[in-house]
Amino acid sequence: MKYYNTIVETIGNTPLVKLNNVNEGIEGTILVKVEYFNPGNSMKDRMALKMIEDAEARGILKPGGTIIEGTSGNTGMGLALAAISKGYKCIFTLADKQSPEKIDILRAMGAEVHMCPTNVEPDDPRSYYSVAKKLNNEIPNSFYPNQYNNPSNSVAHYETTGPEIWRDTEGKITHYAAGVGTGGSMCGTAKYLKEQKPEVVTVGIDTYGSVFKKYKETGKFDENEVYPYLTEGIGEDILPKNVNFDLIDNFVKVTDKDGALMTRRLAKEEGLFVGWSCGSAVFGALEYAKENLKKDDVMVIILPDHGTRYLGKIYNDNWMESHGFNEGGDFATARAIIEGRTDDELFTLKSDMSIGEAIQTMNEHGIDQVPIVEEGKFVGSVSDSKILKSLIENPELKTQPIEDIMDPSFPFIALDTTVDVMSTRLNKDCKAILVRDENNKTHIITQTDLLMSLTK
């Protein structure tokens, strides 16, 4: 009889599949490694099992213990499978931007799930990083794998994913591309491939709102690069130890919309029902391939997970429409709007400026909404309507600092975000959005700018 003793024995040896349609016009062979063939439907199964087995070997994880991890969902699933096979309990912390399907799946696997706010600093006690660490300190006989800094994460891919790609391409691989989140799959695999063939080019896929690309290119951690984004599983607001920038030759950034639309194309045109970051990886890799791949080159792209995780989001037409992620259309981008301006000086107010001084400054420059800065960082915003309302309620506020009445900071968006997506970000509570150009200069975009772009 041929069978497996536990489900985790089926992890690995996922297939390479050739792309035939979404890569039209691009030279070379484009292969995708379809990781949803793992039992937990994602590549995270590999490193989840490795982290647990290494912890057992070191005596860190003992019988009857509890595994506690901060996850975007897929690592939790892999840990849950291993825990079931080995008799452990699981507690997971997730940011509240994660899809409902991921949460439901983890609970179905017997895990306890704690939801945490997305838009907080990593060291904020409410973040899913901090809550996981706190629970680990409070619960006896618990183990916090910490996938971001645990070397077993990268080792798992060095020992399995890299050798599988090398074997299945018969060493013909010339380019390797993957989304970068914790860094394990990108760097563990890249390390193995470069040891076999140093000239293999590695391409990391990043998202707007993440620090990786800027850090690779400048060596500086720029907090101004960090802002909320929707894509799950790639990009970070921290620098995980598993991200070895020496092993990543190039970075390509992808917008939420481009990643979402490519994900849907992979399902419709290739029969690959995959997750959001898979679409981001393919879109970014193909953008690189258009200019760099030659006829005899072979590129392999990692597709991390399965589409069932995103049924309520990118595979839901109503959700896509509500976020402006509509297919088709020829809308202008933030880049086009700011490039079309003749005068584009960004006026800001300091947080300690008085409300009276703010009124005077806004009147002098004819502006009705302004970002608030403190020591070079955007910390809030204010509009003329907010000032008027505040002064009517309490005229004595005129001498108080503007920070006393300011609203949250205007959100940042990607440079190539289209007008239809930008329109979903602007409402009565958000009067403007900010965008940085390639020279790191910040620009403001208002509803008037969007209307003007539609009339050109």
One pLDDT digit (tens) per residue for the chain, 456 residues: 999 999 999 999 999 999 999 999 999 999 999 999 999 999 999 999 999 999 999 999 999 999 999 987 889 999 999 999 999 999 999 988 888 888 899 999 999 999 998 877 878 899 998 999 999 999 999 999 999 999 999 999 999 999 999 999 999 999 999 999 999 999 999 999 999 999 999 999 999 889 999 899 989 888 777 877 889 889 988 899 999 999 999 999 998 999 999 999 999 999 999 999 999 999 999 999 999 999 999 999 999 999 998 999 999 998 888 887 877 666 788 888 998 887 778 889 999 999 999 898 888 888 888 999 988 788 889 988 888 888 898 888 889 999 999 988 888 887 878 888 888 778 777 889 998 887 778 899 988 888 888 876
Q: Mind listing the domains of the chain with CATH numbers?
A: 7-41+151-322 (3.40.50.1100), 44-143 (3.40.50.1100), 334-455 (3.10.580.10)
CB 149 within 8 A of CB 240: yes
Give the C-alpha separation, 430 to 238, whole Å: 27
Q: Which of 122-151 are b and which e, b meaning 16 or more Cβ less than 10 Å from the residue's Cβ?
A: eeeeebbbbbbbebbeeeeebbbbbbbebe
From 2, 33, 44, 134, the catalytic residue: 44
Active-site residue flag, 44: yes
Give the C-alpha separation, 318 to 423, whole Å: 16
> Closest by alpha carbon to 239, among 211, 208, 258?
211
Cα–Cα–Cα angle for 212, 216, 222, rounded to 5 degrees: 60
Neighbours of 262 (CB within 10 A): 23
Give the C-alpha separation, 150 to 199, whole Å: 28
Lookup: tokens for 331 = 């809308």
